[in-house]
Amino acid sequence: MFTDLLNRLFSPSPAPLPELDGRHAMAGLLVRTAKSDGRYAVEEIRRIDRILAATYDLNPVQAARLRAESEKLEHLAPEDGRFAAAVRERLDDEHREAVLIAMWRVALSDGEEKEVEGAYLARAAERLGLDADAASRAHAAALAADPLDPPPA
């Protein structure tokens, strides 16, 4: 047991992530975005679940399960761009920009735009292979009305 732990800590190559498919990679990016400011708020969790449900046509329980699985993967993964690389390999520019919009919506779901989140999302945009114009469009789109939010009463 301790040998395994020491190998993970001091291994020169990153530990392999189990089951990193496109869904888990995207959900992992959303979870990591939510945690980027050091706080994992209920509003962010709800937003992640709504995004996953809408993106993959999941019911609430399935979306929550996908998020929970991705939380475990996110916890294991180092900050080396694995999630972004998995998404970049599977999606074209337009869909990667949509992922970045979703990431911004998670970051903004607590009602604040924090500098640390902006820095994380700028780095994520680069890792997703998006240029500055695409990153700017994604940020602006996230600031606009979110179609996943219910209309005001």
CA 88/CA 57 separation, integer angstroms: 21
Burial class (CB in 10 A: 0-12, 13-18, 19+), 63: buried
Give the lowest-confidence range in 5-14, 24-33, 75-84. Answer: 5-14
Return mean pLDDT, the chain. 86
Domains of the chain: 18-143 (1.10.3680.10)
Cβ neighbour number for residue 99 with a 10 Å cutoff: 25
> How much is the pLDDT for 81?
83
Per-residue pLDDT of 86-142, as tens digits, reads: 899 989 999 999 999 999 999 999 888 899 999 999 999 999 999 999 999 999 999
Q: What is the pTM of this model?
A: 0.82
pLDDT exceeds 50 at position 2? no
Nearest to 69 by CA among 12, 120, 20, 7: 20
